[in-house]
Chains A and B, each alone.
Chain A
Amino acid sequence: MKAVQEEQEVITATTQIGMTDDNQYLTFMLAGEEYGVDILRVQEIKGWDKVTPIPNTPDYMQGVINLRGAIVPIVDLRSRFCMEKLEYGPTTVVIVLRVRGEDNECIMGIVVDAVSDVYNIQEEDLRQIQSNGNSLVAESVSSIATVQEKMVILLDIDHLLNSRELADINGALD
């Protein structure tokens, strides 16, 4: 938890410094790769805690948590990307995001291996990738950036976590 709190402080600090046109991204680790999400969509970062499972929902839907009185669904991102499962550990965190649906905004959390960093990434440093179109990962990647010689995969969280999409997938299972 301590690590998480420090992370949040880092984020606040960088946000204050980076008042340029750059877009800021919060990055996190998932199966050895670094992914980024638009920092303006991040509501908070919290440690993994027990969730209440919701019956008859897809495997990646971990359940719901109480976030200051709001019922917030939690998605396991490894599971969502059909990656190998990993035992949750001390670095496991939930990133709480504001997701835009068709006519509303909702709050959802994603479980990731660890929070990594906050980067300023300029528009021209973003590279669109050619989608091989066979997986949700590919569909949800908005672009790729190279930061300090590392590749960061930037995610379109609205596409990734669109609750309607979640509902549809579940509907197919019913």
Chain B
Amino acid sequence: MATILAVDDSNSMRQMVSFTLKQAGHEVTEAADGAQALELAKKAKFSLVISDVNMPKMDGITLIKQLRTLPAYKFTPLLMLTTESSADKKQEGKSAGATGWIVKPFNPDQLLATVKRVLG
């Protein structure tokens, strides 16, 4: 299955995302903010990155912009975790290079369905 990088500053969300994906057989690496995620992404190639938007140190939008500059992540699906209130954020995320988004709140099944959409 796929190697996925899950980025969220919220422990519970990150654990839930990570646990759900692991249950589905994926290999998951966790990062607590964008800066940490970027470091990890430079060291290993992930086939999907799922990132929260609002995070300390480096937010999700910046992370996505940074990732898209890396040759290894040119076409990699990058998903944002966002809330329904931030319609502008979706647009901002898209122009930063995000593949798509998962709208919070979501349940494990929705998460898996969305992930399935982008993993070949």
A–B direct touch in complex (beta carbons closer than 8 A): no
Binding site for B on A (CB under 8 A): none
Interface residues of B (CB under 8 A from A): none
